[in-house]
Amino acid sequence: MSEFQPTERTQVKRLPKRGHYDSETVYGILDSAFVCHVGFCVEGQPYVIPTNYGRSGDTLYVHGSAASRMLRTLSGGVPVCVTVTHVDGLVLARSAFHHSVNYRSVVILGTARLVEEPAEKMEALRLFTEHVMKGRWDDVRLPTEQEMKATTVLAIPLEEVSAKVRTGGPVDDEADYSLPVWAGVLPLETVAKEPVPDAQRKNDRPLPDYLKNHTR
């Protein structure tokens, strides 16, 4: 899919020029983030839960303990809203009113599907691991049968999706440009630091190549 068809629920109405519906933008935002927020309602009470995820094509996977209320609820066909956001910079204007944030975000609406087929479930767990650290799956012990039973995996189709992006500097009122106030953007980014080995070191191999000079 090269384009997501905007719906009444996903069409960006506030500043529509910031809306994006192409898969390149949506997938780029999803693939470079670690955490999504999953929103759903139980008996009228809304919940928003942060969790990790993985993506394969037009499917987003989330997982967790089989005892998780979120996963048990969503596997019953409750409507779900999933969001992912990057904060790229603080936009400092000359007036308080026009301060903003540079960001990239995605909103996904739909219904989750319980993943029961063993091969798809194992592949989803591989995706989660590789999403956190590419190359890691081939280094670690794979899940046991008992661990698979203790883990629930849900698949959320990427069908009703939109992205919203803000870039650039502040946009002030014309009269404010003469004010003696610094204005501009403070860029923000997540940076990997020096890896810290586990204190229980017993059979460590040298630092893997994928951890050396790691960038996202």
Q: What six digits make up the tokens of 36?
A: 């999504």
- Helix count (H) and strand count (E) of the chain? 4, 11
Contact 148, 122 (CB under 8 A): yes
How many residues can be counted in the chain? 216
**Per-residue pLDDT at 1:** 47
Contact 98, 172 (CB under 8 A): yes
Q: What six digits make up the tokens of 122?
A: 């194992």
Q: What is 16-176+188-211's CATH number?
A: 2.30.110.10
What is the C-alpha R_g of the chain?
21
**Per-residue pLDDT at 2:** 61
**Per-residue pLDDT at 199:** 85
Give the DSSP letter string of 74-105: HTTT-EEEEEEEEEEEEEE-SSSTT-EEEEEE
Nearest to 118 by CA among 153, 86, 89, 94: 153
Q: Say which residues have a Cβ less than 8 Å from residue 203's Cβ, sequence separation at least 6.
A: none
Tell me the helix, strand and coil percentages in the chain, rounded to 5.
Answer: 20, 35, 45
How far, in Å, CA of 141 to CA of 119, rounded?
A: 17
Q: Could you identify the residue written with the tokens 């460590």?
A: 204
Give pLDDT tens digits along the chain (216 positions).
Answer: 468 888 888 888 888 888 889 999 999 999 999 999 999 998 899 999 999 999 999 999 999 998 888 999 999 889 999 999 999 999 999 999 999 999 999 999 999 999 999 999 999 999 999 999 999 999 999 999 999 999 999 999 999 999 999 999 999 999 999 999 999 999 999 888 899 888 887 777 888 888 887 877
Q: What six digits make up the tokens of 90?
A: 């603080």
Q: Could you identify the residue written with the tokens 């008992």?
A: 146
Q: Which DSSP helix (H) or strand (E) runs through 31?
A: helix 23-31
Q: Could you identify the residue written with the tokens 């698979």?
A: 148
pTM of the shown model: 0.89
How far, in Å, CA of 77 to CA of 102, rounded?
A: 35
SS3 52: strand
How far, in Å, CA of 156 to CA of 106, rounded?
A: 14
